[in-house]
Amino acid sequence: MGETKYGKYLMTKCLKPKEAGRPGASKVFLKAEGAEVSGGVELSIIGGYITEPFTMEAGSMVHDFDQCLLCIGANPDDMSDFDAEVELYLGEEREKHIINSATVVNIPAGLVHCPLNIVKVNKPFLFMDISIVGKYYKKRV
């Protein structure tokens, strides 16, 4: 879309399907990584549609980049319509947090996080991982 003055800021082919390979997650997670798909911004977006409980991440990890995790309802008329339960552990001491409403989790660079368990799914929901990095990676703790 670069034929207009500001068309370069609209990325129309930024999401690349990736096999989720996990029970409970939609067959295809969406994945967009790198400056070439995000208009020059080093950005990684990974996410999909969650339909049943499963362990998304079993161990703890840390990154040297900022990250946001989104758990939002899949109802197009009301994305706050969230009827699921997600366990997320934060910090080296593994402080347990229960997500049971539409939530955005800010994970600053250096914060130990996970495990992440999808405990209950009464209604399917959308999960997104947005990281300020060209290619997502994790360091196990």
The residue among 17 and 134 whose pLDDT is bigger is 134
> Distance between the two ends of the chain, CA-based, in angstroms?
42
- Please report the pLDDT score of residue 43 as a whole number: 78
The 10 Å Cβ neighbour count of residue 57 is 15
User: Is 2 domain-assigned?
Assistant: no
Number of domains the chain is built from: 1
Domain holding 80, by residue range, is 7-140
User: Is 43 domain-assigned?
Assistant: yes
pLDDT tens by residue, 82-128: 999 999 999 999 999 999 999 999 999 999 999 999 999 999 999 99
Instruction: Give the CATH number of the domain where residue 134 resides.
Output: 2.60.120.10
pLDDT tens by residue, 25-52: 655 566 666 666 656 667 788 888 899 9
pLDDT tens by residue, 4-13: 887 766 666 6
User: Is 1 domain-assigned?
Assistant: no
How far is the C-alpha of 20 from the C-alpha of 43, rounded, in Å?
Answer: 20
- Please report the pLDDT score of residue 8 as a whole number: 67
User: Is 93 domain-assigned?
Assistant: yes
How far is the C-alpha of 98 from the C-alpha of 1, rounded, in Å?
Answer: 42
